[in-house]
Structure 1
Amino acid sequence: MAHPVDFRPMDANTEAIVCLAWARMLGLKDDALAGATDRRVEHVVPDSDSLSLVSLFGRSVLVGPEWALEGAEKYPDEELAAARTLMQIARDHRPRLIGAATLAFTDTYIKDAALESAVVTDDPAAVERLEKGCPPDDVAEVGLRDLAAKFVLLGEQDEVVAAAGYQPWQGILAHVGVLTSLSHRRRGHARVVSAVTLNDALDEGMIPLWRARSDNDRARRLADALGFIEAGTETIVGFG
């Protein structure tokens, strides 16, 4: 069972930058999520084939076709964040769950002696070897080979043990993904290579974003250990 989202405060400047990035990704004006508000922002996309609710730092944005937004009017944000509610609204349009995730961010570098001795590579052959040692569902979810920046952690005798990377979003956020070989899990490798990755993203002037399925407690615990702060959720339902 997924543990509840326990939002913690973030630096005000970081929060503002994150809100700017999400406003742009959702097709809103840059200042649409600026300032404190308890009013839900609604964005009509007439030809959209999905309905999504993004909750971020206490602000909520509902995006979808007009009929879906009208159907959502009677529901509070807390209910809309549940996939079953969005599915109910779209019940006549063959709804399917695309994803329900928590959103976490960090603006803090990780200082760890283990990083000084970490050996990493971005060799595509190393990425391929790692993916062969992981469940297909994990490989597909992370999409490591398609990430703009990737770091493969090497163990003894250059054995591939884990990898992490990120994809820039709006040139502001760095969406982080992590993959660990089945035979090397629970040994701290994911934390080390994730730390290398988020430090690099911060060096590049981006704020690392950790987007984990709401029911993925293991991923959320790792994010917490890395200093990520859960700041919201994203729920998406597709049609047809």
Structure 2
Amino acid sequence: MELQSATIRNIQFAWSRILDIDEEEMADASTRTYRESRDSPLLMFVSLFGKGVLVGPAWAMAAARTLTDAQLARHSVLLELSRRPWEKPPSSFAIPCPRPPILRCR
């Protein structure tokens, strides 16, 4: 299905409002757009009509600059990027387990 150019512009306009970026910038598919959101813990990547937009904290933006849009579209990559550099990965956390009772036979 091929969309009409007016429909594409309307979709791009709506997403530019959602992502809080300039409408013209959303229409320019030649470069990826980065929008730093200091207060938000959210890391979001949107790819629309060949345009990639990454929204998130500065430390995640810096780590994402070397990645391609195809890489950023993968859940596992976004999950890894969303981990702050100073935090340990979730798999390294120890889960406290109570000691099993010692049974003695008489």
Question: TM-score under structure 2 normalisation?
Answer: 0.74
Distance, in Å, in 2 between the alignment partners of 1:29 and 1:94 is 36
Q: What is the identity percentage for the equivalent residue pairs of Structure 1 and Structure 2?
A: 33
**SS state at 1:74 partner:** coil
Hey, what's the Cα distance between the residues in 2 that align with 1:64 and 1:9? 32
Q: How many residues align?
A: 87
Which residue of structure 2 aligns with residue 88 of structure 1?
A: 80
Q: CA deviation at 1:74?
A: 1.2
Q: 1:57: which partner in 2?
A: 49
The code of the aligned residue for 1:56 comes to L
Distance in 2 between residues matched to 1:46 and 1:61, nearest whole Å:
16
Match status 1:33 vs 2:26: yes
Contact 2:27 2:51 in 1 (8 A): no
Deviation at 1:94, TM superposition (A): 7.8
Q: 1:69 to 1:24 in 2, by over 3 A?
A: same
- Tell me which stretches of 4 or more aligned residues in structure 1 moved more than 3 Å: 92-95
Q: Does 1:71 align with 2:78?
A: no
Partner Cα distance (1:94, 1:61) in 2 = 27
Q: What is aligned with 2:16?
A: 23
List runs of 5+ in structure 2 lacking aligned partners. Answer: 90-106
Is the radius of gyration larger for structure 1 or structure 2? Answer: 2
TM-score, normalised on structure 1?
A: 0.34
Structure 1 segments unaligned to the other structure (5+ residues): 1-7, 96-240
Describe the shift of the 1:54–1:94 C-alpha distance in structure 2 as closer, same or farther (beyond 3 A). Answer: farther
CA-based RMSD of the aligned residues comes to 1.9
Q: What is the rounded CA distance, in whole Å, between the counterparts of 1:48 and 1:94 in structure 2?
A: 20
Task: Out of 8-17 and 42-51, give the one that drifted further.
Answer: 8-17
Deviation at 1:47, TM superposition (A): 1.0
Once the two structures are overlaid, the 10-residue window that deviates more, 8-17 or 40-49, is 8-17
Please give the alpha-carbon distance, in whole angstroms, between the structure 2 residues aligned to 1:11 and 1:31: 18
Q: Write the letter of the residue equivalent to 1:31.
A: E
Q: Which amino acid aligns with 1:67?
A: W
CA distance in 2, matches of 1:48, 1:13: 32
Paired residue type of 1:20: F
Pairwise CA distance, 1:73: 1.0
Q: Where does 1:198-209 land on structure 2 (aligned, <5 Å)?
A: none
